[in-house]
Amino acid sequence: MTETLIQSPLALGLLFVALGLVAGIPAGMFGIGGGLILVPVFVAVFSLLAFDSASLVQLAVGSSLGAIIPTAILSARAHHRRGGVDGAAVRRLLPGIIVGALIGAWLATRIDSDHLGRIFGAFEVAIGIWMLLNIQPPEAPVPRRSVWLGGGALIGAISSLIGIGGGTLTTPFLVSQGLELRRAIGSAAALGVPISVGASLVFALPQWTDPAYQAPEWALGYLYLPAILGVVIGTSISVRGGVWLTHHLPVAHLRRGFAGILILAGLLMLIR
């Protein structure tokens, strides 16, 4: 019954829009990309749709990155208009970010789907604990180019490997290098654009480069287009609500609640 209902085009479209509405709230509140929510829910939905289990997590990760592109662009523009993007910091991280994003996405398309799911689950639990403890990065600016290049490469690789926009990692790195928090968040949003665009291109490639891969209907490689479209619609509506909540509700309590959700979702990904 559930599988029949979810395969209805209208019900499926509404489900993805609703998912976008949910994912946009923490994105607006905490500057954390929706991938931490999108990937585990995509895995659950794609399982109900009986997609090939051998590529299930790759499809979820790729679709998450595809859905992040327009959100990252809109967010970056909004921060830029308010002077919240540090151009020098973006330029210093950009080369490493691009290289890392391409490598991470390439690795994700070649790792066993179950192993990739466990990597995501472990990372999500770690981020949940970090948010729960509200650990602040120490300010220890290191001006060496190698530190920025290596830091960018690591951020890009991890982000594209597990399907997030990178703000979870980029913001603490920039704060540790002396940027004020709001400018760090704005700069991280700008850097989410090359991460999501570069990684999405790699996740689309199996459509033409892997004859053995049978993409689901309406998918481009590992990008499931109906999911991306629905989530983009929902996120574009709800992200403003997340910003509003930040200024009107006790964020510390909401942070703990969201951390609990991440830990639970991560554990479910680990034991699936």
* Phi/psi of residue 223, nearest 5 degrees: -110, 110
What is the predicted pLDDT for the residue at 2? 47
CA–CA dist 220, 209 (Å, integer): 12
Encode 88-124: b = buried (16+ Cβ within 10 Å), e = exposed. ebbebbbbbbbbbbbbbbbebbeeebeebbbbbbebb
Please, are residues 53 and 214 in contact by the beta-carbon 8 Å criterion? no
pLDDT given at position 1: 44
pLDDT computed for residue 31 by the predictor: 58
Question: Mean pLDDT, consecutive 10-residue segments, the chain of 272 residues?
Answer: 56 86 73 76 88 90 91 78 86 95 94 90 86 74 83 93 85 86 83 92 90 86 93 84 68 72 82 74
Instruction: Please report the pLDDT score of residue 65 as a whole number.
Output: 93
CA 246 to chain centre: 20
